[in-house]
Structure 1
């Protein structure tokens, strides 16, 4: 079988223009558990004795299970617009729903974030990155627990009129422009994903107060526009609070692991526990990201162990300032689900747990583990092995039934290893965006980052020069430096392997980049497959050999440098044109100078279609063709400008069409 045939035969490798990855049918309408629109009242939480505990005082308002907009009536008194910030005065029972990017500071009293995290007035700004792909943050007024803990109200000429008995809490929201707000102009399907004034169309009815937010990187949702807000009800809040108290900083570090089906709220629960510990003062806290499909704390298609030092509200950004870069351990897995390479998945987990015990646990860091939503069939077998490796102190199961003896729960928990168990009702909210779209969002953020929390979507990625790096061939000198070999996961060379297909395997793909030192390289290089018949091609290293020696290895001589897009291959001069974040390319250049060699490995990752074509140039060429009625002078890969007729041309497949004859 040729490599190209193998590509077509591998279910995990899809077309570069096929947005719905991993066999997901995004057009199917599903009924989700616990997704009823019934207006059920939620009991409020009770006071606790914790000073910095995430859940704190009792609040008197009782919003429904589904919150879509703020309970706040704006006026010239309670909403003050400044040059770069907005001051908000909240009365009893009032809350605001945030959309976009901002920095939050409590100026007077205290507030609850998401009805759980207790935050009081002090000179600290909390960064919030809230895209519409997730439930939006809710900030509500609440009573102060204890002023002796160091509450520092900040009265200014702008907010002094809010320091009276009518107002319970005063907050300020400050602009936090990362550049990600321009992603909708770069890729039109993400127009409404992150707040900017461009999310509104000319046909939209825009309120006067909504227009006032056009100058900011955020807005307050003042009416129902189809958003979901994050509200942790009593079962969640009480359980998370109790788990936080159980993970005492003075004791040995504890491990808590969250499991559940897809869309059950695992990431929400993981971040809520993480923020509970951080707001209490248990900094840093370790976070193990084991979900390669929709990771927040890892690069796309990667698994990671990170040390978190600041609370994460909303989505965690790539290279966020909340994460300690020095104590991060990450490995390229290559797929969006453990099903594609389960042995390698377990191998990486063992390596990450070893790193936690060696680097983090000795400092007293608690560990929070987020897991994928594949918990049945072979996914259950993987889960059993993971719990055997970790043996968590606390296992949190998110499910549709709170009865431990329910058949579904018994099936999930059977043969799992853990010390203590908690069961919570899952939050089965489905995002407006499909998993493949969320992955594309993560990829775009990754490849367009300039530095920590800064992104560039003003120009197309193809407007900049690629990173050029040489690759080794059979004719290379002994002292060669650059790309030593290429590997495609789950593919080993057979007798009928056509080396010409290596170009198809590499061209226009996303790859993981590893650097190995001279000692490790010496043990690997003899396993590579050279071909004297094709001396212009890169050398190939079998997947089995790469995984055994490099993938998941925590050796100091092996460094995972993140992802790169292979733009093109020059077989005449033997080099690759690649795109990656500039800070990554600078590190790679430096390490190559110090004797490291580059190894490239490919999984299922696709390049988002918006990165392949420069739409501006394309439109200019199309316009030029229409004006001159001649052939376009510049060829574009993957693009045809020939008009297709219906007969013998391209037909659009219609799905789920029910005709009378079929009934």
Structure 2
């Protein structure tokens, strides 16, 4: 009563709600004292699941956004009961502020992962690359063309299980600084981060859908942290074990981190516990290009790492489809983010799995045809293209590790068409015509490879007009199967798709959506990474695997092409979309990405008098195209030749190619094909030349010219090449950082060279290089020299600002 009276005298007037809450808290206080085992729910850490043994399968988390924000783990195991219950309660109460402090610290470091210049350290100056829409680095999850951080919400990394086996002395066959040979028991798995070559010596393993048997073949695997990590599983072995060798590879793709923040912190960091075990006896500085991971906690960079697993329904569907062999012609469609690309990749690798090596040295000669109709996220080509590729070997890695197959022994592009946009809705008629032409090329390919199956990857454009295109393709392409990647429908999509499959007498398989690919980059960022990888990749003639060069595009030797005069190398420049004033062609073309298209006929522009490709009703109309009967009723090319449709710009004399009424009519896919992409580095008006930077080989262009084909440059509606603009700056910063590390190392070792004035002179030269790289056109760099610059205010002050128009009428036009 005394305590009650004291409280009533000192208490200030409060509301009824506050008084009731105070009484509840006062009533609960004795209960907590009497029952110390019951902790308050606010500070109680989430319960931990029972620990599974290594023999048990690892559960796959449901595909939801909650998987990307894992809960904080308890610091104590639930099965352990301490003797002192009071101490346990006090520890739990004190745990809340400590945990929040830890989350804050992780959030501050997490927000700067992409900005860090190396895989282990951060840089003094904060640079944020900004697209023309003004979105900064701190919003990676948004689909904008900016360089952003891997997460906008500070979270704590969960200790997620990756491998089912742990290496020991008996499982390690041999190891050195470059190689690691291990034995993996049946039904056990191993997960690695990085890039490496894998060689199966004994037994059979599964890797991203492919079954690899013992042979002399070595496969290149890319396992960055941007995607879910591939799982190496033993499915059969000698004496219950498979023997596999992993070897470091130096393709140069890790050097791209010096050119873009998006490539930073995606490969393996410091040596893990398993690496230290296998590197005993090696030099302390020894490090492979891959690391063995048991759990995500083994990662020194504390990233969100997940293994790549498939549901049983997916696995059974892949086995069922692969049994059709050469008769397989399947269309894979579904909503965005449903796992279409992952399923297609697994099915492709499963069909390309090599047979066991025999005395006849058998190999899969017919291969697999892959028709990619997704111009926004293509698998084997840069964005904006639909193409048909003939593959002869499984491919292990995300799309930016194989952005082109030119000169590859694993496959080749049969034919490609430039759509000019990341979505086919910009011109659905041209899109359908391109798909029909690629299907005809596949039928021609079957004459040489009769047992070559076909996989068609359809984009997530499955509603509205996209559904009409999908049902039309189902009725017209002569398929054997249709796979829809969503059990949730909706009914307005599944019913018309099922009706079209019924009319075409094709079975429709509905699978659950499983976005198993754990991606920590947005779609726009992955497109930028793929484009940058495409322009920096090369295939030397004496090397079977690709190489990446870290030299900025501004320092590479361009192609000088005459656009006017007696040595004119291109017929014209076409701008897809709305008609522009010829006076603006120079502005639209300079610094943009263009497609290099080979024109096989002078009448290659689609005419205006052709009927529509698709009917707008639910039933077939007279204008519909039936590819099963004939191709004569396709829209024909117009009567105007390319030469008569060219308008010369008054100032630069550029050949502007335009036919249409208000919008440009595209090139006819039947008599044109895309050779690749090029970056227009400059337009030299004095010499009437274009400076083009392109990975297209000179032999490819010469081959097209020798066949009598003309060359037309097509400017589409693709994303601005912001990554190319900032390459010089990031390269200069990386060089300055390497020099600083070298100077610190020499000073630490008390090397006489550290006192030499040469290092100071080189340091000044590198700073001048950074200053010059900051003063390029279309870009403004504001640097902050503070070391504690990770707050939002400092990030807002450090922006790259693009001042160039993308194209007239675009969303980025307001940033002039």
**What TM-score do the two structures reach when normalised by structure 2?**
0.60
From 315, 338, 342, the equivalent of 1:237 is: 315
Shift of 1:183: 1.8
Candidates 341, 344, 353, aligned match of 2:430 = 344
Determine which of 530, 533, 538 is the counterpart of 1:450. Answer: 538
Q: Give the C-alpha shift of residue 86 in structure 1.
A: 1.2
Partner of 2:185: 91
Which of these two proteins has the greater Rg computed from alpha carbons?
Answer: 2
2:637 matched to 1:552?
no
Give distance in 2, aligned partners of 1:179 and 1:618. Answer: 18
The equivalent residue for 2:779 is 639
Query: What is the CA distance between 1:528 and its match in structure 2?
Result: 1.2
Residues 625 and 504 from structure 1, CA distance in 2 versus in 1: closer, same or farther, beyond 3 angstroms? farther
Aligned equivalents of 1:21, 1:129: Cα separation in 2: 22
- Distance in structure 2 (CA, Å) of the matches to 1:615 and 1:434: 23
Change (3 A) 1:89 1:17: farther
Q: 1:482 touches 1:592 (CA, 8 Å); kept in 2?
A: no
Shift of 1:414: 4.8
Contact 1:210 1:219 in 2 (8 A): no
Q: Specify the alignment match of 2:291 in structure 1.
A: 219
Q: Partner residue of 2:643?
A: 525
The residue correspondences of 1:408-557 to structure 2 (distance < 5 A) are 409-410=494-495, 413-416=498-501, 417=504, 419-429=506-516, 430-451=518-539, 453-472=545-564, 476-477=565-566, 480-493=567-580, 497=581, 499-516=582-599, 523-531=641-649, 534-542=650-658, 544=660, 550-553=667-670, 555=671
CA distance in 2, matches of 1:17, 1:28: 15
1:209 paired to 2:275: yes
Q: Distance in 2 between matches of 1:29 and 1:182?
A: 20
Residue number in structure 1 paired with 2:714 = 601
Q: Is the 8 A contact 1:565 1:607 kept in 2?
A: no
Equivalent-residue separation in structure 2 for 1:123 and 1:650 (angstroms)? 55
Secondary structure at the aligned position of 1:15 is classed as coil
In the alignment, the residues of structure 1 paired with residue 584 and residue 135 of structure 2 have an alpha-carbon distance, to the nearest angstrom, of 21
Query: In structure 2, what is the equivalent of residue 299 of structure 1?
Result: 382
Q: 2-side partners of 1:298 and 1:135: how far apart?
A: 21
The partner residue of 1:359 within 422, 441, 445 is 445
* More displaced 10-residue stretch of structure 1: 235-244 or 383-392: 383-392
Q: Which residue of 1 aligns with 2:689?
A: 575
CA apart distance, 1:516: 3.1
Counterpart for residue 461 of structure 2: 374
Paired residue for 1:36? none
Select which of 315, 325, 328 maps to 1:248. 325
Aligned positions, number: 551
Q: For residues 500 and 311 of structure 1, what CA distance do their matches in structure 2 show?
A: 49
CA drift of 1:75 comes to: 2.3
Determine whether 1:176 maps to 2:249: yes
Counterpart in the other structure of 1:106: 200
Q: 1:323 to 1:389 in 2, by over 3 A?
A: farther
Query: Shift in Å at residue 222 of structure 1?
Result: 2.5
- Partner SS, residue 90 of structure 1: strand
Q: Secondary structure at the match of 1:238?
A: helix
Q: Is the 8 A contact 2:160 2:295 kept in 1?
A: no
SS class of match (1:529)? strand
- The RMSD of aligned alpha carbons is 4.0
| 1:520 CA displacement | 5.7
What is the 5 A alignment of 1:125-136? 125-136=218-229
1:310-349 CA distances to partner (integer Å, 9 max, x unpaired)? 1122335134436433x61111111111112211111110
Describe the SS at the equivalent of 2:262. Answer: helix
Residues 1:549 and 1:95: Cα distance change in structure 2 (over 3 Å): closer
Relative to structure 1, the CA distance from residue 512 to residue 633 in structure 2 (aligned partners, 3 Å threshold; closer, same or farther) is closer
CA contact (8 A) 1:16 1:608 kept: no
Other-structure match for 2:419: 333
Partner of 1:267: 341
Q: Which residue of 2 aligns with 1:62?
A: none
Preserved contact between residue 375 and residue 412 of structure 1 (Cα < 8 Å):
no
For residue 550 of structure 1, give the secondary structure of its aligned residue in structure 2.
Answer: coil
User: By percentage of residues, which structure has more strand?
Assistant: 1
CA distance in 2, matches of 1:544, 1:323: 41
Separation of aligned partners in 2, 1:593 and 1:18: 46
Q: Paired residue for 2:678?
A: 564
More helix by share: 2
CA 633–600 in structure 1, closer or farther in 2 if over 3 Å, else same: closer
Aligned residue number for residue 188 of structure 1: 261
CA drift at 1:128: 1.9
User: What do the CA deviations read for 1:337-388 (whole angstroms, capped 9, x no partner)?
Assistant: 1112211111110110111112236632211111101211222122122222
> How far apart in 2 are the matches of 1:574 and 1:348?
33
Q: Deviations over 1:406-438 (max 9, x none)?
A: 676336545455611211111124511111111
> Take 1:626 and 1:84, find their aligned partners in 2: how far apart are those partners?
33
Structure 1 segments unaligned to the other structure (5+ residues) = 1-13, 31-38, 40-65, 145-152, 154-164, 653-663
